[in-house]
Amino acid sequence: MKAVNHKDIVLSHPDSKKDTGLWFQDSIEFSHGVSLRVKIKNVIHRLQSPFQEIVVFETEHLGRMLVIDGITMLTEWDEHAYHEMIVHVPLLVHPKPSKVLIIGGGDGGTAREVLKHPEVTGVHICEIDEAVINVCRTYLLSLASSLDDPRVQIFYEDGARFVTKGEGTYDVIIVDSTDPIGPGQTLFQQAFYENMKKALSEEGIAVTQCESIFLHQGVIEGVFAFARDIFPQIGYYYTLVPTYPSGMIGFFFCSLRHHPFSQIDAERAARLKGLKYYTPDIHRASFSLPYFAAKYFQPL
């Protein structure tokens, strides 16, 4: 296998004469030496923004693929498993999720799922890198078309600073961030979680992307160590995403009042259109963790 490095991207040509394709290899810097290889047809777009390198591939079998700084963000094939779970878990627990803040989420997938809830009257998206939104609006319309909805307002700012501006404003905050390296690093720190709490309304819920229980236990333990002292209700849950290095990724559920799964609004869930992954049963089951992970968390 001959590898070709393009800054943070690793593309490889197989040695086998039977396979003349090109493969993308996920960066292993943040994944304990575990990597992912996806066969691609071609590079559709590549851009170095002021913050990061953004690449869109056309894959052989998984649709289009978004890669940032050499790390897989999504493929069209399995992105629903991530976006449905980061959104519908908090929105179906909150009794009336009217105002929603999305930090990150420039691809539009999280907004697409939020907008399936008719109770939502306004969605603020705070994305630090305008280039992410511009690229996705051009090349990933199955997600980014949601950004043109009149209920959506986009702010190009640092999410850690933006969240300090709206005390008591949001019913739900969803942090759809990159890994805790580069621009996403501040979103895994105690001060950010404290400011999220202040930005929530009285019954507010925040959900944050928080890595894999297999690969990033140190990150998860670090967040839990301070988050449990900030929010009265806290839980950790996960979803299965085959094109992420460990095949899964998790989220922290941080609530000022509501338990993460004791009162799921099943009637509202049944009215949601176009779901591929989320169900109320999956919702409940996703909080059940294997022993090696559960021992790091207090019982719900």
- Assign 16 a pLDDT band (cuts: 50, 70, 90): low
Tokens read off for 279: 């169900």
Alpha-carbon span 47 to 17, nearest angstrom? 32
Helix (H) or strand (E) holding 280: helix 280-285
Catalytic residues: 176
Residues of the chain with CATH 3.40.50.150: 79-294
In this structure, CATH architecture of domain 2-74: Roll (2.30)
Residue 29 burial by Cβ neighbours in a 10 Å radius (0-12, 13-18, 19+):
middle
Residue-wise over 244-258: b if at least 16 C-beta within 10 A, else e?
Answer: bbbebbbbbbbbbeb
Q: What is the pLDDT of residue 214?
A: 93
Answer yes or no: is pLDDT of 11 > 70. no
- Assign 288 a pLDDT band (cuts: 50, 70, 90): very high
Answer yes or no: is pLDDT of 19 > 60. no
Q: What is the pLDDT of residue 30?
A: 64
Alpha-carbon span 44 to 61, nearest angstrom? 15
Answer yes or no: is pLDDT of 10 > 70. no
Answer yes or no: is pLDDT of 109 > 90. yes
Q: What is the pLDDT of residue 34?
A: 80
Q: What is the pLDDT of residue 140?
A: 98
What is the tens place of the pLDDT at every residue in 140-158? 999 999 999 999 999 999 9
Q: What is the pLDDT of residue 161?
A: 95
Answer yes or no: is pLDDT of 2 > 90. no
Residues of the chain with CATH 2.30.140.10: 2-74
Q: What is the pLDDT of residue 15?
A: 55
Least confident of 17-26, 163-172, 198-207: 17-26
Average pLDDT of the chain is 91
Tokens read off for 27: 């960066």
How much is the average pLDDT of 114-129?
A: 97
State the pTM of this model: 0.92
Least confident of 127-131, 145-149, 244-248: 244-248
Alpha-carbon span 71 to 27, nearest angstrom? 5
What is the tens place of the pLDDT at every residue in 217-226? 989 999 999 9
In this structure, CATH architecture of domain 79-294: 3-Layer(aba) Sandwich (3.40)
DSSP code at position 186: G
Tell me, rounded to whole angstroms, the distance of Cα 7 from its chain centroid.
Answer: 24
